[in-house]
Amino acid sequence: MSFTSESAVIRHPYRWVVLILSWAAFTMTAVDRSTWGPASVAVGEHLGVSLAGLGVFATGYYIGYVISNAAGGVLTDWLGARNVIACSLFFAGGFMILFGQANSMAVGIAFQAAVGVFAGCDYSAGVKLISQWFPAKDRGLAMGIFMTATSLGTVIANSVVPRLIVASGWQTSYHVFGAASMVVAVLCFFLLRNTNPAGATTPTSETKSRAVPNLRPLAGNRDLWLLGLAGFGGLWGTYGFITWSNALMTKGVHISPIQAGTVVSIFGIAAIAAKPAIGLLSDLMGGRRKMLTVIVLACFVVALLVFGTRDSLTGFLWVAPFLGVTAYIYSPLMVALVPRLSGLGLAGSAAGVTNAFWQLGSTIVPVVLGAVFQATHSFFWAFATLAAGPLLGALLMLGVREGAPAKVPTAPAETVAR
């Protein structure tokens, strides 16, 4: 029985090609996901769907997305990251194009759910590839660059989609981004390599005999469970802000929707440069990321509470960049911790399962926050509710044992041959 070791991963120049392609794939699915926000009203008018009914489309997407995060990680460890990232992105792009042809609410929801099912797989595949090609001491910067995709996708969609709608209709945005996704998928299939020839020893898609990974070591991994709960708390704050901040600012403080949109844009842009920077800092600290994550989450709590005490556009604009940085930079640190806690052999499965759990925070918080604001009519207490998530995350991270990387059998006896 052989073991996957962190020391087996050695620097190779091709690692940058792997990172760029993994990042491009993740960026495209982030763009595909973010297209719905600026296009939703136009889609509703075309399909005859009420404003309230538009939420069903987003729900359909995220149900598929959460499921595929968990399943995609297992498929990554089983079938190889290259195959998963290329095939999932190709089909996600295809269903984006089909959604652009939808002529009824039922068909549109089905296609949105299908996009979500395939879009959730490339995250775990990207984490697996980066773990295979970047040594642990370099992985913070790589994960930071990789995770800029989520912020950049939001910026791209909100910059391009409104203009495409004005120029040629909402369908064009889905056709353009769907086709671009399929092109990137083809590039990934032909250019990505699972095997690091400089010394990685984990099974690859070129392996003739492959087995379904044994997930029992993950189920009993206390540190991964704590990381999953901490990430749930972090995304509670991040996506709660993204979902509700515009409405809270306009209804609670009575600034205009355009002004609120400017605040949220600054919030998102601030994170793009900050993610690689925090990853590089963690590398310079010798790859120790636990305490840095605790500090970032604690700063996120403070930033949310300070934002909740502002009562003017000027106040929001001053706090937004700091809030945007703290709301996002814990994610590359947590992602870089996943392969260290799980071992490289199960890095894909661990990334998929933990991210599926993290995403539950973004699914639950909109309902809770709406109930709190309706009951209290308090801008501050709404943000105090958001701050509870990262506060819990910081406390749970204190219990994570970063320690030495786990060793996971690459071909355990309990696995089932395909």
- Please write the tens of the pLDDT for every residue from 312-350: 899 999 999 999 899 988 988 998 888 888 777 777 777
Task: Report helix angle 139-168 to 313-328, nearest 10.
Answer: 130
- Please write the tens of the pLDDT for every residue from 41-79: 788 889 888 755 666 777 778 788 888 887 888 888 888
- Please write the tens of the pLDDT for every residue from 81-104: 899 999 999 999 999 999 999 988
Using the predicted structure, report yes or no on whether residue 197 has a pLDDT greater than 50.
yes
pLDDT at res. 417: 35
Least confident range from 15-24, 219-228, 346-355: namely: 346-355
Domain 12-193, classified CATH 1.10.10.10, yes or no: no
User: Which sequence spans correspond to the domains of the chain?
Assistant: 12-193, 216-402
C-alpha–C-alpha distance, residues 141 and 284, integer Å? 10
Topology of the domain comprising 216-402: Growth Hormone; Chain: A; (1.20.1250)
Q: Among 121, 144, 15, which Cα is nearest to 351's?
A: 121
